[in-house]
Amino acid sequence: MDIHLSFHKLKTYCEKENFKGWDPYDGLNSWVIQKTFLGKWPFFRLAWIQLFKRNPINLRPLFGVKKEYNAKGLGLFLLGYCKLYTAEPLQEYYDKIVYLSDLLVSMKNIQFSGACWGYNFDWQARAFFQPKGTPTVVATSFIFEALIQSYEITKNEVYLQTALSSVNFVLKDLHRTYDSEGNYTLSYSPLDTTAVFNAGLLGAKLLCIAYRYTQEQELLEEAQKIARYVCNKQLPDGSWPYGTLSFHQWIDNFHTGFNLECLGTIQHISRSTEFSIPIEKGFDFYLKNFFSSEGISKYYNNKTYPIDIHAPAQLVITLEKANLLVENIDLTRKVLNWTITHMQSEAGCFYYQKKHIITTKIPYMR
């Protein structure tokens, strides 16, 4: 295994594509949905998305789905280039930081209380329908953090002020689900009322990072209320289901990683040990249940397949941000070795999912 070679192949591929690509959920961009009566039926929209998402054959070129910018994906690339520049301040990286930051600022949704971002496609889920461009707390939180890091490098006040305005989106535009103690979690977007745990925590992490710049105590207090709500929903074994709805009761790898990453950030910035036990229990469950001895990243706690590229990527981020990478370096190397060997193409991109027999090799830029 050569991690540097793998990385440079991936970087070359993404830059060659100019960071544009397909997404697992972009099937509704097809002319079949946009220009025919079939797109008016929620059940058909949901089935159409799943057809594109689950099919190992890429139907997008046939049905007119084009490669496009995905705002969350751009935020993730920007975070990556900020990391690269911090490690090695090359002009190449700086130029990419400015390019991606300016692009994200130009893409922000201005119809809400603060800067926010959504996806470049209509999205039909079981719980709700999101029209193209509907801002989500998930996309917004990643882009917020990326613009904050970009500001730290470039000192461009536009990036900082755009990011900090996202606080108003989180506090004013998202719905809240409360528990009996007055704690709450956030909806995924302004158009739904679902209670998804990682979405709430990502919003809380945003508030905490913003607190570092504004010193507004309210931001810290609201973030802690969200964290308490989610910690109170933790199961006795240290795991979390995806959300509160009856069909959100699965326990998966990378959303658990999101939860732990966010709780760690909230605890660090608030300088509190309040969430130490939930974090410790969560990490114990995460590391024992989602990774095999061969280095396979399981999707669910109770079954291996599908092996989704999101899971091994999030492992490295979760461990690094918790300062646990060194003590789990053997596991990390095994996971990276298996993932590079089995899920990276010669072109440099990584495959989406590997199932029992079939591998979905479609490159999804996000």
* pLDDT digit string, tens, across residues 242-259: 999 999 999 999 999 999
pLDDT at 128: 83
Classify residue 189 by burial, with Cβ atoms within 10 Å: 0-12, 13-18, 19+: buried
Query: Has residue 352 got a pLDDT over 90?
Result: yes
Peptide bond into 306 cis (omega under 30): yes
pLDDT at 248: 93
pLDDT at 1: 62
Average pLDDT over all residues of the chain: 96
Q: Which two tokens stand for residue 94?
A: 């700086």
Query: Has residue 350 got a pLDDT over 80?
Result: yes
Q: Which two tokens stand for residue 193?
A: 């009322």
Least confident of 104-108, 112-116, 354-358: 354-358
Residue whose C-alpha is closest to residue 75's, from 13, 132, 30, 120: 120
* pLDDT digit string, tens, across residues 18-45: 999 999 999 999 999 999 999 999 999 9
* pLDDT digit string, tens, across residues 312-334: 999 999 999 999 999 999 999 99
pLDDT at 127: 79
Query: Has residue 83 got a pLDDT over 90?
Result: yes
Given CA atoms 134, 139, 140, 143 in this order, what sign does their dihedral have? Answer: negative
Tell me the residue type at 291: F
Residue whose C-alpha is closest to residue 307's, from 316, 297, 319: 297
* pLDDT digit string, tens, across residues 176-221: 999 999 999 999 999 999 999 999 999 999 999 999 999 999 999 9
Residue percentage of the chain with pLDDT more than 70: 100
| CA angle (30 as vertex; 107, 362 as ends), nearest 5 | 85
Query: Has residue 119 got a pLDDT over 70?
Result: yes
pLDDT at 125: 87
126 — pLDDT class (breaks 50, 70, 90): confident
pLDDT at 319: 98
Given CA atoms 122, 128, 134, 136 in this order, what sign does their dihedral have? Answer: negative
Residue 276, C-beta contacts closer than 8 angstroms, at least 6 positions apart: 267
Helices 157-168 and 197-214, packing angle to 10 deg: 130
Q: Report, as an integer, the average pLDDT of 76-100.
A: 98
* pLDDT digit string, tens, across residues 150-170: 999 999 999 999 999 999 999
Least confident of 104-108, 122-126, 269-273: 122-126
Q: Which two tokens stand for residue 267?
A: 């605890």
